[in-house]
Structure formats: structure tokens, C-alpha cells
Amino acid sequence: MRVALGGTRIDRSRTIHFRFDGRTLAGHPGDTLASALLANGIHLVGRSFKYHRPRGILSAGAEEPNALVTIGEGAFAEPNSRATMVELYDGLVARSQNAWPSLGHDLGAVTGIASRLFPAGFYYKTFLGSSRTWTGLYEPLIRRMAGLGPAPTAADPDAYDKVHAHCETLVVGGGAAGRAAALEALGQGRVILIDEGVATPPLDGVRLLNRTTAFGCYDDNLVMAVERVNDHLPPGERRGPRQRLWQIRAKRIVLATGAHQQPLVFPNNDLPAIMIASAGLTYLRDFGLLVGRRIVMVGSSDAADELRAAGAQVIEVAAIAAAHGRKRVASVTDGQGTRHRCDAVLMAGGWQPAVHLHSQIGGRLSFDPARHCFVPVVDPSRARLIGACAGDVPVDRPSAPVAGPNAFVDFQNDVTLADIDLATREGFVSVEHLKRYTTTGMATDQGKLSNLNAITRLAHNLGGAPGSVGTTTFRPPYTPVTFGALAAHDRDQFIDPTRTTPMHDWHVGQGAVFEDVGQWKRPRYFPRDGEDMRAAVRRECRAVRRGVGVLDASTLGKIDVRGPDAASFLNLIYANGWSKLPVGRCRYGVMLGEDGMVFDDGVSARIAEHQFLTFTTTGNAARVLDHMEDYHQTEWPHLKVWLNSVTEHWAAAVVTGPLARDVLREVVSDVDLSAAAFPHLSWREGRIAGHKVRLYRISFTGELSFEVHCDSRFARPIWEALLAAGERFGITPYGTEAMHVLRAEKAYVIIGQETDGTVAPDDLGLSWVVSKSKPDFIGKRSLARPELQRPDRKQLVGLTMDAFVDEGAQLTAGAADTVMLGHVTSSYPGAVDEKPFALALVTGGRQRIGTSLYAHFGGRSLRCNVTDPVFYDPEGVRLHG
């Protein structure tokens, strides 16, 4: 009910309209949704989480646990908005939550009758039985009955912003104390003042952020805050981002965050129109309205005269034994048993300083018995607290809690005094256990109006002072933050960079199907004329085995290792030796971790006496460089060697197949391509289309192969020249899928597929790579550990079978066995014959060649023959061709 007095925040000269549950109502600019509803005499605004109790507006600020509504419609809808914090605008649409069929007649309220069935810890007690009982019965039931507003299902259409800021002084809270502190700090550099509300007039020289909530305080004076840039405007007037996330690093932090007056606990203390006393006063002073005509005040009567002057009847009582009413309080019984008719109750349960930001970073609290609240312990190394949040709060005369039905401690999570008492009796005597067992303080309001009462009751039950049980941990966020604000610009294509090769557009033009390899987009296969993947891969594989194929290998990691000690450095990094590798030659290398397990593999080429080019797997390039830098800087800084990533500088095309040399002869100049002059595992410099190229004879397919590496800037013309030259040989672009089939037939391992950090070189049959003569290299000592000598280590073998087997399938000796001997690491149809084959890691695998195993996957068992892992050209005749 609006009155003539007060109303500093509203503009009475203008009227705006909004809708609540379909009803069109009027308010003034400056109103919150809560004040506008109260001005219209509406106290019932929602139903409670568990028992569907009718609930009203308890507070006038951020601490509100009850008045949660959905604002906006469709994809713009925002559930669980606190009506006390929603600024009214013309055309605002709000809906109540958790009520069916309507707020006034909620069928769910029958659970209120059955509330004896939902005691503390009901999650743990009620839902016994099989897991099917849970998924089939309890869970859907609870989901329908309990909860908050539904999240919109459409993608969030709003834009959000993120800002970093730095200042000498950050003041949180724009009340009198905060404003004074901001002005005082002006001489000491930049000052930012954050205020949750709007009313604060600007201060000269101070950067003022209105409508901004500091929700988290982190190490080294980092404060995260969210600014509601546009939420207070009608949708048509919104410009720019909806909200902005602020990450503020400050030299000094001053907290002036105020205090929250607490509720009292008595039966039916949750009825609509039973409110926090200071909120009743705020509604009069700021919004010019009375929350009732006949108001009972309990715990404090400081403002009674002010309410009377505004036209209310005020009854002052020392305690309330119970409240009565259905959808709004109608009367109370006081401590002496006298019944008083009323239409509102204002309760004062003592003030708890808002110490959240102080506590989030480990600031300590102590209990102050005189003011009955937790106050911050002053610590000069932390944020300074001033005003009410430092404990400078009024003293109420709160009455003792009164047990009985529906005496609520936590309004939002429907936790009663009886629940706290039950939990204590059942032995939950730690404040952290009490919280988890009863869920008190765990709702989105973070217990701003419940923790003090819950902790006090627990201490009382244990016969101690309130300070004796401590407090629960304060964690960010202080109030709920939208995912949109946290994500800000980091959404859709901006979540992660996308890396493409210089030939990417060509692949797109050819209709390639791509796969993600780390951040890279790599063509997986190139379907033609409606081919599915299997048909395309079969065609690509056959082209490589019988003619010639071409693969974009630009994504391979490339590290330039140079300096007088380059070879010595690689000798320590790799398991194999590099000193004797002549300039112009390449060598396959395996890199181990210090634990002796395979970390990466790839070919390195000696470019000059003091320069190597090291190739890494696509996904491991950054990790390998980090690994090398780590050892170089921390263990062997005396070695004169420099490491640089040149992955992006060089593009690469693999020309592979029996006709590879014929294709290159068409386009390459300045190089003798004959096998005698340019053998396997060597490299030469030449020219294609006028550009310098490096040709490497490296094969990952088992066929005669040339890798053509060039400056990335000229990659596209060189790629096209290769394709033009190969046209009459039927050159076929192939993707990573065919590459995998071709390499698996040769038992060339993929790091991360055949290896998982527990696989040593010998397990993969790579003992031949490991140098016997080098005194030391990373992993050498570990290879001598007894564990690495065991004959029953898992070893790489091949499998053949009649049907396709899933990668990851477990392997056993007998069809009905349950002892797992290993697993399938790679599984494909053969490149040419399409017969299924697989690679597997099997306990003592090399001893099992010639025997059979059973693969288990998808509820099936399949007999597999164990074979040598090399299926194709074991003598290596073709790749030396």
C-alpha cells in the first residue's frame, strides 16, 4: 500500500506497467519488482522448494531467499531472479515459480501435509531400494515436485562482455562508509567504487560501477564482479552487452558491504507478509509504501514511530510463539499466549555483517556475544573492513527460537528447526556435516538469512556458545552469476582457436570431411559421388597401395634444434643416438619420459652439422617443445642449443605409393630422385614451381614416400603443382582415416592410441631404437628397473578375426574368462583386402603369437588369432623402392 511519506527512490510523477503471472499491474520508475508487488498489495509471490509452502517477500535486498521469479520470456527468460533486486521497467514480464496449476492453488502444497516424510537427510533415508527405483520413481517425482524455475532451452541470445581493470583502491559497497573510504583514498591513486544498487550519485575522481555485484574475492586482491548493464531497461532500449564481468586487481581492497538483519524462528515464520524489520523500513523510506496496516514488531521496535507516522498501527511484542494464516499472516500468538490480529510482521533477529568476501579468501571470524553475530578478525595483510560489515551494527533483542511445525531456519531449502535438532540427535555435530545433511545454507542465497540461526541452534543443542561450532566455508559467488557473464566472449567459435593448414581451402573445395586433431582441422577423407566413409577410405587406401596418394601433413609438429650442442642435447632427449647421423640423413626416434615410458615419436633430420629438424606428432607438438625446454633450462643449461617451434613455417605434402617417384619427376628440379642417389631416410633440397622445397624420404604408409616440405606461403601453388603432375598417374588425396589404416598395417604406432603412458619401447617392439652405447638419456635408468624386465608386460601384437572388433575391446584367453589380458588399440578393415585386422597390447603378447584370444565388446565375444603386428611388407622392400 503506497503512502504519502517516503519514496526517495521512486518517481511518483510517472506510472509504468508490468505483468505478474498474467496480471497487468502499475508501478513507478525506481521501483523494484518486489516494491511494486507490495504496492499492489501482493505478498504471495512463490512456492517453496520442497513443501510448496506459500512464500512472500522476506527482505529488500540481495539476501532474499523467497521471492524468486522468472523474468522475461522465451530464450530471454531468466529464472530464479530475486524480485528484490529486479528493477522495474515498463513492459516487464514476471512469472512465479514452482507452482501448479497456479500460485494460489498449488496442488504441490499437499506435500506440506506430508512434510513429516521429508525430514533432515531424507535424501539418504527415503530413497532406499534398487537403482531402478531411484531412476524410475523417486527422481522424476522429486524433479517435478521440487525445484526452482526452469532454465530456457534455447541458446542465450544476449551478448556479454568481460573487462580487466587495475586500481590502487577498490571499495566494495556504496553506502556512507564506502563513499567516505573512496573519497579518502583519492590521494593514493586510482579508485574504483562498486555498488550493487543505483542510487549512489557520482563522486569526483572515483570510477563508480553501479548495478555491480562483487561476487568473489581471490588471491592477491583479485575481485570478480558482474555489472548488470542492461537488465533494468525495456528490451527495446537495450544497447551493447547485457552484463559485463569485471576482473579487478587492486593494491588495496576496502569492504563496506553492510550487514543483513536476520529472521526469527517460530512456527509459520515463513508466511507471506512476515518480513525482516529493516526491509519494512526500506520499503517505506525508499519506495513510500507500508507492508501492512496492522504490523506486529518483534525483536526491535526502533522504527515503530516512523511506521505509525506513515499511517500503520504497530503492535510491539517481545516474542512470537507462533504465526497464523494461510496465504498471508493473519495473526500471531505472542510469548504470553495473547493473540494479535495483524496483516504483517516485522522481525529483528540481529544483524550479521556481510563478511563473505573477507571469508572467501580465508579471513577469519569470531563470535561477538554482545551483538550475537560473527564479526571479522582484523588482519592487516587482508582487505580492510569498515562500517556494518566490520561489526558496527545495531543491537536487536532477538527472542529465542520456538520449536514447532514449520519453524523455518532455511527458507529457500525448506529446512526447519526440527531438522536441525534431528540432525544433532543423529550425530551430525560438525557444522559442515550439518550443512550437507540438512542442506541448510546450500541454496542459491548461500544462507545469508539462515546460517546464523542454524549455527546458533546447533551450538545450543550441543550445550555450547554459538561461536563454539565455527562456521561453514564461504565460497564464491556471493550471489548467483549467469553463465553468460562468466563465458562472455568465449563462446561458439571463440572458445578455442582453430588451426588450419595453407591447403585448407582446397580441401574444403574438394568436399573433405574434417576431424579435429587438437586445435587442427585435418581432412579425414575426401568422399566422391555420394561415397560413405568406408567407401572413400577404401578407394584412398587402394590408391596409395597400388598407385599414388597425397596427404596434407602440414600439421606435423616441427622443432628447429640448433647450436653446437644440438646433437648432444638430442642424445639426452631421445632414446636413440644422433651423433653419427650425417647431414642429409633422417632417423626415426623415440622420446621417453624419465619413467621410461614412450612419450613421443617421430623422425628428425640433420639439416647441418649444428642443426636438426625434429618432427613430433600433431597433437603433441607443444608438449614436446615444453619437455625439451624444461630439461634444457632446468637440467642442462650448459648445453649451447636453441629450440624453436617452426610448425607453422613449414607446410608438408606426403606423396606416397609405388608411383610417387614418377609424379615427383614431373615437377621437381635440382634433385636426383633415384633410389641410389636419394635413399630411404634421407633428405634433399630441390625446387617445385620455382619455389625451394625440402624432400624427405620418410614413410608412414609402408610405400615409397616423399614428404615435400616448403615455406607455408608457397604451399598452395606447390600442392596444386603436385596434383597437376600426378593427374595422369591417378594421384588421390587421402585423409587421416586412410593414413591410420595404412600405418596400422605396418604396425607404426600412434602416440596416445597404442600408448597410454604405461608403454615402454620394448612393449612396442621398438628395442632396436634404444641406444645401448649412450651412457645416459631421459628414461634410460628406468628401463633397467625390474618392473620393465618382466616377461608378462603388455606387448604389441596383431590380431586377425572374421568380424570387425571395437577399439578398446578387452581380451581374455577363453571365451568365458574374466581375467583381462589386454585390449585392442587399433582396428580397421585391411587397406586392399578389407579383411578385419587389429593391433592390441597383450600380456606376454609376443609369446602368444599363433594362439587365440577372445575380444569382448558390446555384449559379444569374438575369437581372434594373435599374429605379428606387421601385416604388410615385413621386409620393408616397398618403402625402400
> For residue 213, which amino acid is it?
T
Part in contact with other proteins (CB under 8 A); list of ranges 52-60, 198-206, 489-497, 626-634: 626-634
Part in contact with other proteins (CB under 8 A); list of ranges 612-620, 657-665, 780-788, 822-830: 780-788
Helix (H, G, I), strand (E, B) or coil at 448: coil
Q: How far is the CB of 188 from other proteins (least distance, A)?
A: 19
8 Å CB contact between 377 and 285:
no
Q: How far is the CB of 783 from other proteins (least distance, A)?
A: 11
Is 633 a residue that touches other proteins (CB under 8 A)? yes
**Contacting residue, 5, 142, 180, 222, with other proteins by CB under 8 A:** 222
Q: For 612, phi and psi rounded to 5 degrees?
A: -120, 150
Q: What ranges in 547-588 are assigned the alpha helix state H?
A: 566-573
When the beta carbons of 696 and 777 are compared against other proteins, the nearer one is 777
Is 524 a residue that touches other proteins (CB under 8 A)? no
Is 490 a residue that touches other proteins (CB under 8 A)? no
When the beta carbons of 229 and 621 are compared against other proteins, the nearer one is 621
Site size for other proteins (CB under 8 A): 21
- Alpha-carbon distance of 572 to 570, in angstroms, equals 5
Helix (H, G, I), strand (E, B) or coil at 14: coil
When the beta carbons of 528 and 785 are compared against other proteins, the nearer one is 785
- Is residue 415 within a helix (H) or strand (E), and if so which, with residue range? strand 415-416
8 Å CB contact between 217 and 383:
yes
**Contacting residue, 204, 219, 529, 875, with other proteins by CB under 8 A:** 219
Part in contact with other proteins (CB under 8 A); list of ranges 82-90, 97-105, 449-457, 630-638: 630-638
Q: Which residues pair with 532 in a beta bridge?
A: none
When the beta carbons of 582 and 786 are compared against other proteins, the nearer one is 786
- Cell numbers for 235: 528490451
- Is residue 344 within a helix (H) or strand (E), and if so which, with residue range? strand 344-347
Burial of residue 164, with CB atoms counted within 10 A of its CB: 0-12 exposed, 13-18 middle, 19 or more buried: exposed
Q: How far is the CB of 360 from other proteins (least distance, A)?
A: 13
> For residue 177, which amino acid is it?
A
**Interacting residues of 595 by C-beta distance below 8 A, sequence separation 6+:** 779, 782
Provide Rg for the chain, Cα atoms. Answer: 37
Is 868 a residue that touches other proteins (CB under 8 A)? no
Cis peptide before 637 (omega within 30 of 0): no
Is 382 a residue that touches other proteins (CB under 8 A)? no
First-to-final CA distance of the chain: 95
Is 648 a residue that touches other proteins (CB under 8 A)? no
Part in contact with other proteins (CB under 8 A); list of ranges 282-290, 424-432, 576-584, 628-636: 628-636
**Contacting residue, 17, 19, 162, 249, with other proteins by CB under 8 A:** 249
Q: How far is the CB of 576 from other proteins (least distance, A)?
A: 18
Is 461 a residue that touches other proteins (CB under 8 A)? no
**Contacting residue, 782, 800, 812, 865, with other proteins by CB under 8 A:** 782
Q: At what angle do helices 566-573 and 621-634 cross, to 10 degrees?
A: 110
Q: How far is the CB of 781 from other proteins (least distance, A)?
A: 3
Is 626 a residue that touches other proteins (CB under 8 A)? yes
Query: Site map for other proteins, 582-601, x if CB under 8 A?
Result: ------------xx------
- Is residue 867 within a helix (H) or strand (E), and if so which, with residue range? strand 860-867
**Contacting residue, 101, 463, 530, 786, with other proteins by CB under 8 A:** 786
- Alpha-carbon distance of 175 to 258, in angstroms, equals 8
What beta strand segments (E) does 783-835 contain? 794-800, 810-812, 822-829
Q: How far is the CB of 480 from other proteins (least distance, A)?
A: 21
When the beta carbons of 496 and 626 are compared against other proteins, the nearer one is 626
Is 529 a residue that touches other proteins (CB under 8 A)? no
Part in contact with other proteins (CB under 8 A); list of ranges 14-22, 470-478, 611-619, 781-789: 781-789
Query: Site map for other proteins, 337-376, x if CB under 8 A?
Result: -------------------------x--------------
**Contacting residue, 13, 130, 634, 773, with other proteins by CB under 8 A:** 634
**Contacting residue, 113, 370, 784, 819, with other proteins by CB under 8 A:** 784
Is 629 a residue that touches other proteins (CB under 8 A)? yes
When the beta carbons of 676 and 784 are compared against other proteins, the nearer one is 784
Alpha carbons within 13 angstroms on the beta-carbon side of residue 650 total 25
Nearest-CA neighbor of 64 among 344, 276, 321? 276
8 Å CB contact between 770 and 761:
yes
**Contacting residue, 11, 316, 516, 630, with other proteins by CB under 8 A:** 630
When the beta carbons of 599 and 678 are compared against other proteins, the nearer one is 599
**Contacting residue, 144, 326, 339, 781, with other proteins by CB under 8 A:** 781
- Alpha-carbon distance of 682 to 741, in angstroms, equals 25
Q: How many CB atoms lie within 10 A of CB 856?
A: 20
Is 220 a residue that touches other proteins (CB under 8 A)? yes
Q: Which residues pair with 20 in a beta bridge?
A: 23, 94
Part in contact with other proteins (CB under 8 A); list of ranges 218-226, 341-349, 427-435, 686-694: 218-226
Q: What ranges in 605-730 are assigned the alpha helix state H?
A: 621-634, 660-667, 715-726
Is 846 a residue that touches other proteins (CB under 8 A)? no
Q: How far is the CB of 623 from other proteins (least distance, A)?
A: 11
Spell 411-447 as b/e; 16+ CB within 10 A means b. Answer: bbbbbbbbbbbbbbeeebeebeebbbbbbbbbbebbb
When the beta carbons of 516 and 629 are compared against other proteins, the nearer one is 629
Part in contact with other proteins (CB under 8 A); list of ranges 215-223, 521-529, 658-666, 796-804: 215-223
- In what order do the strands lie in the sheet containing 650-656? 668-669, 683-688, 691-696, 705-711, 650-656, 549-552, 732-733
Is 691 a residue that touches other proteins (CB under 8 A)? no
Nearest-CA neighbor of 695 among 669, 724, 657? 669
Helix (H, G, I), strand (E, B) or coil at 309: helix
**Interacting residues of 627 by C-beta distance below 8 A, sequence separation 6+:** 573, 591, 599
Report how far apart, in Å, the C-alpha atoms of 713 and of each of 361, 653, 683, 692 are: 51, 14, 21, 12
Is 635 a residue that touches other proteins (CB under 8 A)? yes
Is 168 a residue that touches other proteins (CB under 8 A)? no
User: Which residues in 82-141 contact other proteins (CB under 8 A)?
Assistant: none
Q: How far is the CB of 733 from other proteins (least distance, A)?
A: 36
Part in contact with other proteins (CB under 8 A); list of ranges 167-175, 229-237, 481-489, 783-791: 783-791
Part in contact with other proteins (CB under 8 A); list of ranges 462-470, 538-546, 674-682, 773-781: 773-781
The alpha carbon dihedral of 79, 83, 89, 91 has a sign of positive
Q: How far is the CB of 643 from other proteins (least distance, A)?
A: 9
Region of residue 871 (phi > 0: left; psi between -120 and 50: alpha; otherwise: beta): alpha
Pairing relation of β-strands 668-669 and 611-616? Answer: unpaired
Q: Which residues pair with 223 in a beta bridge?
A: 217, 248
Is 379 a residue that touches other proteins (CB under 8 A)? no
Is 771 a residue that touches other proteins (CB under 8 A)? no
**Which parts of this chain interact with other proteins (CB under 8 A)?**
218-220, 222, 249, 362, 594-595, 626, 629-630, 633-635, 776, 780-782, 784-786
